[in-house]
């Protein structure tokens, strides 16, 4: 099922999706979320769900296939063999139409590497290789032209056709993109629901719902249903028609059907048990460390400017200190001379260490953002990642 989460700016689309996916870190959250009739356990839910952020965050120095392998090896269960994981990654690349880019370096957005549309497809693929049951996408067509948006939505549709549920926040979609969705959840400012139900063929169900409300104008021929729907349900339209669309929805038969469905699904089916994983992460701590080290190795190996600066500064430091303290050990006659030698060793370590810290900051700054996304996805814990960073240096 492909569900569109729509509404005017400030309606709370992203906030709602962040709460449902468990990614909301600030504010107060009230109410309950049930998965198959059982209260949601975030650690378990993170293992069976995917989240595609609006900003496509990836390690810039590794290839498309390596990005997918890294995600698959850390998120798929241990019972799946390495060969099966590689085969699954190849299948996902074919599904998301990334085969032609498998050896392309991801690069930095707007600088080099993949285009915006290709990055968006990579973001979807990175989540899809975890084999999730439900995927949340925050404005997957944001910042794309019509052709690129159509390619991304074709990718999303292919994902849905594999039997998964996809929830997208979407802002002012074209007719073709809007009618690719199966369900619609429409919010007004303040997060109140004004429509929750199927779109229907050519959006006829949502059009019929709003046209049944007294005073709502009929949709014009060849008009975009998404644009028309947002216009007729705007705050200005509410003032003009003297109606509250949220109250109108609450009194509708659609709302009653949805409440009955929610009540039914809030109870676990007989003979079932809650989903349980024996550990928080798919891989052991050593496995997490091994794969993090593998990615860091490629990241730093493919950063020649960083490595060149490090080696050049180490050479210059060695040359300068070597000239200053040339053959000083042969002139050691007192404890003061010994302190000079110890001081030169201290200066060498401090200079090279500080220079390495300064040089690595741009690389770590990019990787830190990637770390936040990957840790939120339940790929690894902080300690194996930190150990891999230290081991690489």
Distance between CA 275 and CA 41 in Å, rounded? 9
Comparing 124-128, 176-180, 330-334, 352-356, the range with the smallest average pLDDT is 330-334
Structure tokens, 93: 């690349």
The position carrying tokens 């003061």 is: 336
| Predicted local confidence at residue 65, as pLDDT | 94
Q: Residue 202: is its pLDDT beyond 90?
A: no
Q: Residue 333: is its pLDDT beyond 80?
A: no
pTM attached to this predicted model? 0.84
Looking at per-residue pLDDT, the higher value among 302 and 274 belongs to: 302
Q: Residue 125: is its pLDDT beyond 80?
A: yes
Domain boundaries, the chain: 2-265, 285-392
Contacts of 204 (CB under 8 A, 6+ apart): none
| pLDDT band for position 288 (cuts 50, 70, 90) | very high
Distance between CA 347 and CA 321 in Å, rounded? 8
What is the average per-residue pLDDT within 113-125? Answer: 89
| pLDDT band for position 393 (cuts 50, 70, 90) | low
Q: Residue 295: is its pLDDT beyond 90?
A: yes
DSSP string, 115-180: -HHHHHHHHHHHHHTT--SEEEEE-TTTT--HHHHHHHHHHHHHHHTTT-EEEEE-SS--HHHHTT
What is the average per-residue pLDDT within 369-378? Answer: 89
377 close to 50: Cβ distance less than 8 angstroms: yes
The position carrying tokens 């429509």 is: 195
Q: What b/e readout covers 118-148, taking b as 16+ CB neighbours within 10 angstroms?
A: bbbbbbbbbbbbbbbebbbbbbbbeebeeeb
What is the average per-residue pLDDT within 35-55? Answer: 84
pLDDT in tens, 52-93: 888 888 999 999 999 999 999 999 988 888 899 999 999 999
Query: To the nearest whole percent, how much of the chain has pLDDT over 90?
Result: 16
| Parallel/antiparallel/unpaired status of strands 134-138 and 165-169 | parallel
Distance between CA 107 and CA 261 in Å, rounded? 46
What rounded mean pLDDT belongs to the chain?
86
Distance between CA 350 and CA 347 in Å, rounded? 5
Positive or negative, the Cα torsion across 94, 99, 100, 104? positive
368 close to 299: Cβ distance less than 8 angstroms: no
Q: Which CATH number does 2-265 carry?
A: 3.40.50.300
Q: What b/e readout covers 6-40, taking b as 16+ CB neighbours within 10 angstroms?
A: bbeeebbbbbbbbbbbbbeeeeeeeeeeebeeeee
Distance between CA 27 and CA 193 in Å, rounded? 20
């Amino acid at each position: 099922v492909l569900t569109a989460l729509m509404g005017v700016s400030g309606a709370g689309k992203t906030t709602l999706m962040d709460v449902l996916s468990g990614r909301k870190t600030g504010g107060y959250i009230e109410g309950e979320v049930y998965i198959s009739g059982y209260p949601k356990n975030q650690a378990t839910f993170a293992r069976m769900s995917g989240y595609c952020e609006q900003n496509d965050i990836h390690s810039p120095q590794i290839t498309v296939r390596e990005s997918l392998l890294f995600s698959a090896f850390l998120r798929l269960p241990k019972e799946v063999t390495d060969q099966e994981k590689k085969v699954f990654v190849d299948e996902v690349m074919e599904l998301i139409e990334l085969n032609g880019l498998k050896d392309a370096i991801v690069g930095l957005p707007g600088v080099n590497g993949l285009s915006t549309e290709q990055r968006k497809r990579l973001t979807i693929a990175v989540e899809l290789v975890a084999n999730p049951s439900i995927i949340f996408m925050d404005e997957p067509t944001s910042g794309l032209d019509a052709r690129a948006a159509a390619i991304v939505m074709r990718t999303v549709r292919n994902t849905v056709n594999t039997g998964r549920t996809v929830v997208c926040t979407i802002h002012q979609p074209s007719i073709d993109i809007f009618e690719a969705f199966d369900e619609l959840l429409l919010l007004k400012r303040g997060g109140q629901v004004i429509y929750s139900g199927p779109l229907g063929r050519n959006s006829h169900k949502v059009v019929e719902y709003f046209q049944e409300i007294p005073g709502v104008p009929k949709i014009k021929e060849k008009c975009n249903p998404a644009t028309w729907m947002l216009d007729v349900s705007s705050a200005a339209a509410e003032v003009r028609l003297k109606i509250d669309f949220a109250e109108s929805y609450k009194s509708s038969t659609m709302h009653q059907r949805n409440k009955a469905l929610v009540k039914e699904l809030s109870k676990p089916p007989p003979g079932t048990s809650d989903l349980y994983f024996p550990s928080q992460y798919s891989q052991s701590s050593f496995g997490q460390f091994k794969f993090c080290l593998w990615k860091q190795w490629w990241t730093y190996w493919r950063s020649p400017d960083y490595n060149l600066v490090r080696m050049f500064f180490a050479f210059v430091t060695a040359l300068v200190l070597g000239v200053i303290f040339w053959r000083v050990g042969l002139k050691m006659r007192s404890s003061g001379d010994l302190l000079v030698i110890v001081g030169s060793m201290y200066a060498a370590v401090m200079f090279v260490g500080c220079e390495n810290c300064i040089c690595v900051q741009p690389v770590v700054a990019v990787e830190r953002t990637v770390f936040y996304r990957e840790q939120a996805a339940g790929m690894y814990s902080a300690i194996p990642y930190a150990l891999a960073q230290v081991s690489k240096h």
